[in-house]
Every structure is written in structure tokens, then in C-alpha cells.
Amino acid sequence: MTDDGIVRIGVLLAGGSGRRAGVDKRFLVLDGRTLLQRNLAFLRERFETVAVSIGQRQRLDLGDVGTTGVEVLTDAWAGSSPMAGIATALGRYGAPVFALAVDVAWPDAAARERVLAALPGHDVALPAIDSHYQPLFAAYGPGCLPVMAGLLEAGRHSLLDVLPETRVAAVPFEGDELFLSVNTMDDYEAARRRTGAVETAPTGPAPALVAIVGKSDSGKTTLIEKLVPELLRFGLRVGTVKHDAHSFEIDHPGKDSWRHGQAGAHAYVVASRERLAYIARLDGEVPLADIARRYFAGFDLVVAEGYKATAPHRVEIFRAAAGHDAPICDPGEAIALVTDTALEHEHRFDPDDGAALARFLAVRLDTLRRY
């Protein structure tokens, strides 16, 4: 590409480990989408070319957004630092880039345009709040590459070390609010409060929906027990549905609530300060999609157990250790396969790796909402 001073390339810096947050923060969810997807969309709406920077020996599932028009760049320098990602992109394209950290909670388009407008005639343009800089929401020109390469070869990874050796345009801003990064779970909770996310009775659109399916004794419930806590760590509001092929009773005969039902009520509720149960008489089975829409509005994701014939999106668990000889889903029916075998699948997971399956689902919430 030719460097004519116009920034046409956006780079998402996504190689961080998230050690301070204690969770892979790329997959933390705000307003129904992961930070990874939110910030990738922010770049794609503005730049002709978008790259995602990751560290050496890293892999990254982009999920719903896919890789169309997005190039994944592996850092040319070890260390998985933002500087390594930016330098790699400058070397790859030979043109100015706008760099955005994956953990910026609320990237602002107007702030971005102010930074881009300041780059001509400089090597770096970045927000400045008093004497404090924001180098992870900034534009970098090719003139930075020799400086960055020298620093990286010397084992120095701080972007602030680039500034004394380059022509800098400091763009003044009054506060840090536009550049809030999710470095800790406290930061994440602050960002969630800004969205209005609260733990109250849910309202809103239908949630994403996926069913865990498999033959009897394949480990469906055990997998859900491993999966749900991992989904919760990403900030998802999760509900579950268990399919029972037989009649069941959750109320106790003789109790007052049971007597309400025996008196002929079509539906009744048992409520306390800690739990609420809604019990209704049915003339036929309610479709899973209707259950999700009716009872889980406002939730991010519903994980069902069963519904192997009717679930719109299925993850199959198949374990040879359970004595089964073949999966129940035909090729292409299950979006993922959890197995202790070597069966081939584009998205295959170990039965003990609930965290990996949680990441897979978190970046596919948009797809899982289609039913």
C-alpha cells in the first residue's frame, strides 16, 4: 500500500493474555457481544482493511464475524505486546494504521476521527489527557517502524518509549471515559453498569439458544455443569432447559400450591424470596424456541439439554467411553462436537474443556439468536 497520509487500515490489538482480569477478556460480553466482536465491528465500519493482531503461537476464533475482509497477523516479535502488533502491521502494509486495543469498552467514533485528522505531518497521533497518553487508541505512521523495531530488539515493549523518538500529535481530551480499558473485573463491572445490565427480572429480546445433545449417558448434564460456570465468567446471563420425555412433577402432593393445581387452576406460581416456579397444564409439548422466547427474554444465552430433533443449534457430546459407536447427528448438523475420540469436526472439543466451548459459543451469540 502507498503511504499518502490517509489511514485506511484498522488494527485490533488482540494478543493480550488478560492475566489481571483472571479471564480471557477478549470474550467478556457487553450488550450481547464480546469485546472482540464489538471492537472488530468498530474498525470494520470505518476502514477498508482490518487486521487482528495476535501473539506468536496464539490462535483466535473470530466467531460470527468470520474472517471475510479481516487478516489475522501473528506478531513478528515475541512478547505479545501492543508494540509488536503495531510494528508487525506497519511492516505488513507499509502505510499508516489506526490501532485499537481489544479491551477498550466504549470506542468512540468522534474521538477516532479527531485522532486520524491529527496524523498528517506526524508519526503518531494519540489522545492526551493532561500529561497522560492513550497509545492504544492511536494512529501510527510508517516512520514509527524503525524506532519500534529497535526497541523490540532490545526487549523494550512500552509504546510510550516510541514517543520521544518520533513526531507526535497529542490530541487533547478532557477525560479518560472514552478510552476505558477492561483491565480488571472491577473495570468490567463498571462497563456493565454503563450498559444498564442488572440482575433483575429479565426483559428484552429473545436470547441466543443452543442445545447439548447426545445419546443416553453420554455426559450431557456433566458437560452443562462444566460449561455454565465458564459462560458466567464472561458476564453472560445464562438460563438452562432440561427436556424430559416423560411426565414429571416438581410440586409436592399435599402442599397448598399443589392443592391449587388440584382445584383446577390452569397455571399457578410458587414464589419465595429466593425462587419462583411457574407451573402450567399443557395440551402438548411447547417448542424449545417458544420456551426460550417466552421465559428467558433478557437472558444472553439459553443452554438446553436434549431436544436433539428440534433444537435450532446443537452441540453434540459423543463419548466412546460411554459405550456408543456413533454420534446421533449427521455430518453438518451439530455446530460443534465434544468427544473423547478422534472423530473429525471443524469445531471439536475435549469433554473436560468447558472453557474452550464457552469461548466458542460466546463469539457466536448472533448466530445462536437466529431461530
The model's pLDDT over 266-325, given as tens digits with 9 standing for 90+, comes to: 787 888 888 888 888 888 888 999 999 989 988 999 999 999 989 999 999 999 888 888
Q: Between helices 82-93 and 144-153, what is the axis angle to 10°?
A: 130
CATH architecture, domain 208-368: 3-Layer(aba) Sandwich (3.40)
C-beta separation of 186 from 263 below 8 A: no
Q: What is the per-residue pLDDT for 193?
A: 85
User: Quick check: helix, strand or coil at residue 75?
Assistant: coil
The x, y and z cell numbers of residue 291, run together, are 420456551
Question: Would you state the pLDDT for residue 201?
Answer: 46
Predicted TM-score of the model (pTM): 0.85
What is the dotted CATH code of the domain comprising 9-195? 3.90.550.10
pLDDT at 131: 82
Instruction: Give the number of other CB atoms < 10 A from CB of residue 55.
Output: 19
At residue 148, the pLDDT reads 98
* Residue 238, all three cell numbers: 445464562
Q: How far apart are CA 115 and CA 357, in angstroms?
A: 38
Residues 6+ apart with CB under 8 A from 84: 15, 53, 55, 75, 76, 77, 78, 152, 157
Instruction: Kindly report, as residue ranges, where domains of CATH 3.90.550.10 are found in the chain.
Output: 9-195
CA distance 101 to 103: 5
Smallest CA-to-CA distance from 16 within 181, 188, 234 is with 181
Taking 70 as the pLDDT cut, the residues of the chain under it are 1-5, 17-19, 66-67, 196-204, 245-249, 258, 261, 264
Residue 329 pLDDT = 93
The residues near 15 (Cβ < 8 Å, ≥ 6 apart) are 53, 54, 55, 58, 75, 80, 81, 82, 84, 85
How remote is the C-alpha of 217 from its chain's centroid?
31
Note the pLDDT of residue 67. 66
Residue 135 CA neighbour count, 13 Å, CB half:
17
pLDDT tens figures, 214-260: 999 999 999 999 999 999 999 999 999 998 766 666 777 777 776 77
Residues 6+ apart with CB under 8 A from 216: none
How high is the pLDDT of residue 324? 86
> Long-range contacts made by residues 329-334, C-beta under 8 angstroms, separation at least 24?
329/213, 334/213
Question: What is the structure's pLDDT at 4?
Answer: 62
User: Going by C-beta distance under 8 Å and a sequence separation of 6 or more, which residues neighbour residue 298?
Assistant: 201, 202, 203, 204, 205, 207, 237
Residue ranges matching CATH 3.40.50.300 in the chain? 208-368
Which residue shows C-alpha cell 471515559? 177
